[in-house]
Amino acid sequence: MARASFIRVEKRFGDVVALAAFSLEVADGEMIAILGPSGCGKSTLLRLTAGLEPLSGGEILVDGRRIDDVAPAARDVAMVFQSYALYPHLTVARNIEFPLRMRGVAAAERRARVAEVAALFELTELLERRPAELSGGQRQRVALARAVVRRPRLFLLDEPLSNLDARLRASVRRYIRDLQRRLRVTTLYVTHDQTEAMTLGDRVVVLDRGRIQQVGTPLEVYERPANTFVAGFVGSPAMNLLPAEWAEGSLRVGALRVAPPPDVAARLGATRRPLVVGVRAEAFGAGDGALVAVPVPETRELLGGETVFRARIEAAEVTVRLPGVVRELPARVGVPASALHLFDAADGSRLGP
């Protein structure tokens, strides 16, 4: 149980910057989801925190004490690897017991702690088996049990669900959430799956190409994406991004006039500039709004609870999601001003609230 601080942490491999100026304060017992595509630096961040790679710059502190110059064994950080990394020659009991044994915990206490976490993870029946005799879900639980048995100060999870099939994934996700709440271990959870990040994280850190794009609660990241990358990465389907232009006090998407949010209009002034208008698929409704378009329908997916259309508005391909069963895309769709997101086309950054 600990606070963690990352102060301008940096990692370079030769000329390649894997992680740049990563600064983050993690509260005691908080679960942070690190979200990003592969190669964004999220696994690097875990490896730096665990001490498996040296930092190129910056500092990592736990409870105010630097840990980035300490050997991995001395950091009291536990990690669940994507591949689980169970010791294949040891039984489940010996796997779970391994960190305790390495720390010189007495045999009687070791047995008690193993029995305790085995019960917690429903592994009691499997203690004498070897990893090869377990299913994927069971191995996953052994990996978690081994990580929490010694009550680490910091808990690192590297895409722990990516090897499970879809159904198991949802249940293990809930399980991890409950577990983390119950144990109150400060946790960094790395994933490329935005559903995992949104459901598990107290806060989400979106990373791309080694740089933080946004830090916020799942809702903040969803409702107010800081830039076009976050807008396109978080949410399923991705936010529709329509090329637009601000000129002479009016906003246009192609030939379409869009009523901009009033404070944005004031801020943009008279300068002519290219913008991007973002619209969530579910923000469309039949009829009026700040943006009203006549979409050209392309495909339709009836999902029962909702209907997803692919359509064309001006030059852009958009996704429109309407509740319930809708046979045909309305002739006119509209988006309210409050659901419009504006971004600067030059650097992708968010404009306005």
Partner 1 sequence: MRRTLVVVALALAGADLVPLVLVVKQAVTPERESFAWPPTWLPGTLTAENFRAVTAAVELGRGFALSATVAALTVAATLALVLPAAWLAARRPRADRRLDTVLTAARLLPAIALAVPLATIFVALGLYNHPAGIGLWLTHTLVALPFAFFPLRAAFRAVPLELEEAALLDGASPIGAFVRVTLPLVRPALGAAALLVFLVSWDEFAYALLLQVTHRPLPPLLYYLAAFGHPGLASAVATIMLAPAVAVVILLEPALRGGVLAGSGR
Q: Which residues bind partner 1 (CB under 8 A)?
A: 50-52, 71-73, 75, 77-79, 81, 83-89, 98-99, 102-103, 130-134, 136, 139, 146, 150, 163
Instruction: Decide whether 123 or 226 has the Cβ nearer to partner 1.
Output: 123
> Shortest gap between Cβ of 158 and partner 1 (angstroms)?
10
CA 26 to each of CA 203, 213, 274, 282, 329: distance values in angstroms, whole numbers, following the listed order: 9, 17, 37, 33, 45
| Shortest Å distance, C-beta 346 to partner 1 | 42
Tell me how far, at minimum, the Cβ of 88 lies from partner 1, in Å. Answer: 4
DSSP reduced 3-state for 55: coil
Report how far residue 34's alpha carbon sits from residue 6's, in angstroms, rounded to the nearest whole number. Answer: 13
Burial 61-71 (b: 16+ CB within 10 A, else e): bbeeeebbeee
Nearest approach, Cβ of 138 to partner 1 (angstroms)? 11
CB 279 within 8 A of CB 340: yes
Nearer to partner 1, 65 or 103 (CB): 103
Please name the residue that has the structure tokens 């001003």.
Answer: 337
Nearer of residues 11 and 75 to partner 1, judged by Cβ = 75
Cβ proximity to partner 1, 147 vs 241, nearer residue = 147
Strand order through the sheet with 57-62: 16-26, 4-13, 57-62, 65-66
Instruction: Give the distance, in angstroms, between the CA of residue 127 and the centroid of all CA atoms in the same chain.
Output: 33
Number of neighbours of residue 301 by Cβ within 10 angstroms: 11
- The minimum distance between CB 84 and partner 1, in angstroms, equals 6
The whole-angstrom separation of Cα 50 and Cα 73 is 9
- The residue (of 132 and 270) whose beta carbon lies closer to partner 1 is 132
User: Residue 77, class by beta-carbon neighbours within 10 Å (0-12 exposed, 13-18 middle, 19+ buried)?
Assistant: buried
User: How far are the Cα atoms of 17, 54, 88, 96, 140 from residue 130, in angstroms, in the given order?
Assistant: 40, 33, 7, 12, 13
Burial of 206: CB neighbours in 10 Å, binned 0-12, 13-18, 19+: buried
Q: Whole-number minimum distance, CB 142 to partner 1, in Å? A: 10
Nearer CB in complex with partner 1: 163/199: 163
CB of 80 to partner 1, least distance (A): 9
**Residue 10 vs 76, nearer CB to partner 1:** 76
3-class secondary structure, 33: strand
Nearer to partner 1, 150 or 341 (CB): 150
DSSP state of 290: S
| Least Cβ distance, residue 110 to partner 1 (angstroms) | 13
